[in-house]
Amino acid sequence: HIFKLIAKKILTLLAPVNKEGLMFLINCIGLNHMYRFISDYDFYEGSISLEIPDKIAFFPGAFDPFSLSHKEIVKEIEILGFEIYLAVDEFSWSKRTQPHLFRRNIINISIADELNVYLYPEDLPVNIANPDDLKVLRENFSFSEVYIVVGSDVILNASAYQKNKGKNSIHTFSHIVFDRRTLHAADEKEKMIQEAIKEIRGETIKLNLTPCYEEISSSQIRGNIDENRDISRIIDPLAQKYIYENSLFQKEPQYK
């Protein structure tokens, strides 16, 4: 039972393999023990079969960085019975994000204790505005229903939702929409969001963040880092250590 819970998580954390240092030998020993367990179980008890989830939550974003706000969203979705895949944007000219690998590493550190949360493979890029990419996404999870996870502001402003409906367009997917209560101050904007949600053909699940999480932002994190403050209340403590060790998210000038 324990192996079934952790098998997929271990598999996704294996790559990339660093062949230098003591950690490589430790990993080899651990994999050897797992291989022996699988071989013995297969011989004496039969094959190990992993259950295919009925519902997949596909959560795209820059995650610059992955904060406790993102983690809270992931936990809420996990409670609903979803298996979650986080797709990290390769880059963003407008947001001036940190390098892709740094952001992926921060996510790996932050979700290590969440068994049903994984990073989506970086060699399978998905542009939610491209129906061909979305078709491939569906085919990759052919035995499950795929839900797209977005913020309500994304549905209102992203170009993918402004396009006409078509086969495999973003409108044909079920959605999990997390709403920031700060938007409720403008009734007109709230009505626009509701109208945009009506254009979605699939099921729509709405989630609300608690006030202590919905105010967390990248600019807040950068400001605290510049002032050398503790950010363990807005980001995973181990991720905080990684950020400070690599001097990330500082407000130095950036040139493209």
pLDDT per residue as tens digits for the range 194-204: 888 999 999 99
Crossing angle between the packed helical segments 22-44 and 2-13, to the nearest 10 degrees: 140
Fill in the DSSP letter of residue 204. Answer: E
Residue scoring higher pLDDT (91 or 127): 127
How far apart CA 60 and CA 86 sit, in angstroms, is 6
Q: Could you count the other beta carbons within 10 Å of the beta carbon of residue 170?
A: 23
Chain centre to alpha carbon of residue 65 = 11
pTM of the model: 0.89
Residue with tokens 């407008």: 94
DSSP 217-243: -HHHHHHHHHTT---TTTS-HHHHHHH
Which one, of 253, 4, 216, 3, lies nearest residue 110 by Cα? 216
Q: What is the mean pLDDT of residues 118-146?
A: 94
pLDDT score for 96 = 75
* Residue 255 scores a pLDDT above 70: no
Provide the token pair at 210.
Answer: 């608690």
Query: At CB < 8 A and 24+ separation, what contacts does 140-146 make?
Result: 141/56, 143/52, 144/52, 144/53, 144/54, 144/55, 144/56, 144/83, 145/54, 145/55, 145/56, 145/174, 146/56, 146/58, 146/173, 146/174
Whether residue 237 is predicted with pLDDT greater than 60 in this model: the reply is yes
Number of H helices, E strands in the chain: 11, 6
**Alpha carbon distance 204, 235 (integer Å):** 28
Residue type, 46: G
Proportion of the chain above pLDDT 70, given as a percent:
92
Give me the percent of the chain exceeding a pLDDT of 90.
Answer: 52
pLDDT band per the 50, 70, 90 thresholds, residue 157? confident
pLDDT score for 15: 67
